[in-house]
Amino acid sequence: MIKKTICQFLVAAAISVFSINMAVATTYCGTIDGKRIKVEAEASDWIDEKVHGCPGSWEACCDKCGSYLQNRNAINGGWNCKKDWLSTGIWLRGCELDGNT
Protein backbone atom coordinates (compact mmCIF):
# COMPACT_ATOMS: atom_id res chain seq x y z
CA MET A 1 0.00 0.00 0.00
CA ILE A 2 2.78 2.46 0.89
CA LYS A 3 4.67 1.68 -2.36
CA LYS A 4 1.52 2.39 -4.39
CA THR A 5 0.97 5.70 -2.58
CA ILE A 6 4.60 6.76 -3.07
CA CYS A 7 4.43 5.87 -6.78
CA GLN A 8 1.20 7.84 -7.20
CA PHE A 9 2.80 10.82 -5.46
CA LEU A 10 5.91 10.67 -7.65
CA VAL A 11 3.85 10.45 -10.84
CA ALA A 12 1.70 13.42 -9.74
CA ALA A 13 4.82 15.43 -8.88
CA ALA A 14 6.43 14.66 -12.24
CA ILE A 15 3.28 15.73 -14.08
CA SER A 16 3.17 18.97 -12.08
CA VAL A 17 6.79 19.81 -12.87
CA PHE A 18 6.24 19.06 -16.57
CA SER A 19 3.15 21.29 -16.61
CA ILE A 20 5.00 24.15 -14.94
CA ASN A 21 7.83 23.92 -17.47
CA MET A 22 5.35 24.00 -20.34
CA ALA A 23 3.79 27.28 -19.15
CA VAL A 24 6.03 29.60 -21.17
CA ALA A 25 5.04 33.04 -22.40
CA THR A 26 5.09 33.52 -26.16
CA THR A 27 5.76 36.97 -27.59
CA TYR A 28 5.04 37.43 -31.28
CA CYS A 29 7.31 39.95 -32.93
CA GLY A 30 6.20 40.43 -36.51
CA THR A 31 5.95 38.49 -39.73
CA ILE A 32 8.31 37.68 -42.57
CA ASP A 33 6.89 36.29 -45.81
CA GLY A 34 3.60 35.65 -44.02
CA LYS A 35 5.24 33.61 -41.22
CA ARG A 36 4.88 34.82 -37.64
CA ILE A 37 8.13 35.14 -35.77
CA LYS A 38 8.28 34.85 -31.99
CA VAL A 39 10.31 34.36 -28.85
CA GLU A 40 9.26 31.93 -26.13
CA ALA A 41 9.45 34.51 -23.36
CA GLU A 42 7.96 37.72 -22.10
CA ALA A 43 9.61 40.70 -23.77
CA SER A 44 11.89 42.67 -21.45
CA ASP A 45 15.33 44.26 -21.41
CA TRP A 46 16.60 41.02 -19.80
CA ILE A 47 15.46 38.82 -22.67
CA ASP A 48 17.90 36.18 -23.93
CA GLU A 49 15.75 33.95 -26.09
CA LYS A 50 15.92 32.10 -29.38
CA VAL A 51 13.90 33.68 -32.19
CA HIS A 52 11.54 31.12 -33.76
CA GLY A 53 9.88 31.02 -37.17
CA CYS A 54 12.68 32.54 -39.24
CA PRO A 55 11.99 31.61 -42.89
CA GLY A 56 15.31 32.86 -44.25
CA SER A 57 18.18 34.88 -42.81
CA TRP A 58 18.41 34.45 -39.04
CA GLU A 59 20.03 37.86 -38.71
CA ALA A 60 17.27 39.66 -40.62
CA CYS A 61 14.63 37.76 -38.66
CA CYS A 62 16.12 38.62 -35.27
CA ASP A 63 16.63 42.24 -36.31
CA LYS A 64 12.98 42.46 -37.35
CA CYS A 65 11.88 40.90 -34.05
CA GLY A 66 14.00 43.29 -31.95
CA SER A 67 12.88 46.34 -33.94
CA TYR A 68 9.22 45.27 -33.70
CA LEU A 69 9.45 44.95 -29.90
CA GLN A 70 11.41 48.20 -29.52
CA ASN A 71 8.91 50.14 -31.68
CA ARG A 72 6.13 48.91 -29.38
CA ASN A 73 8.11 49.89 -26.25
CA ALA A 74 8.34 46.26 -25.10
CA ILE A 75 12.16 46.51 -25.01
CA ASN A 76 14.59 49.44 -25.05
CA GLY A 77 17.32 50.11 -27.58
CA GLY A 78 20.70 48.47 -27.07
CA TRP A 79 19.50 44.90 -27.73
CA ASN A 80 21.43 42.66 -30.09
CA CYS A 81 21.24 39.34 -31.89
CA LYS A 82 23.67 36.52 -31.34
CA LYS A 83 24.02 33.09 -32.97
CA ASP A 84 25.01 30.20 -30.76
CA TRP A 85 28.31 28.49 -31.49
CA LEU A 86 26.55 25.30 -32.66
CA SER A 87 24.57 27.26 -35.27
CA THR A 88 21.19 26.03 -34.02
CA GLY A 89 19.57 29.46 -34.13
CA ILE A 90 19.80 33.11 -33.21
CA TRP A 91 19.02 34.74 -29.87
CA LEU A 92 17.53 38.14 -29.15
CA ARG A 93 19.46 39.60 -26.21
CA GLY A 94 18.13 42.55 -24.23
CA CYS A 95 20.07 45.69 -23.39
CA GLU A 96 20.45 44.78 -19.70
CA LEU A 97 22.55 41.68 -20.35
CA ASP A 98 26.33 41.75 -19.92
CA GLY A 99 28.10 42.99 -23.01
CA ASN A 100 25.08 44.82 -24.46
CA THR A 101 25.77 48.26 -23.04
If one compares 76 and 100, the residue with the highest pLDDT of the two is 76
Three-state DSSP at 99 gives: coil
| pLDDT at res. 80 | 96
Cα dihedral 31, 33, 35, 38, rounded to 10, equals -40
If one compares 34 and 1, the residue with the highest pLDDT of the two is 34
Three-state DSSP at 80 gives: strand
Contact 56, 32 (CB under 8 A): yes
Q: Which residues pair with 52 in a beta bridge?
A: 38
How many CB atoms within 10 Å of residue 50? Answer: 17
If one compares 98 and 26, the residue with the highest pLDDT of the two is 26
pLDDT digits (tens, 9 = 90+) for 6-42: 545 444 444 444 444 455 789 999 999 999 999 999 9
How many CB atoms within 10 Å of residue 55? Answer: 12
pLDDT digits (tens, 9 = 90+) for 42-97: 999 999 999 999 999 999 999 999 999 999 999 999 999 999 889 899 999 999 98
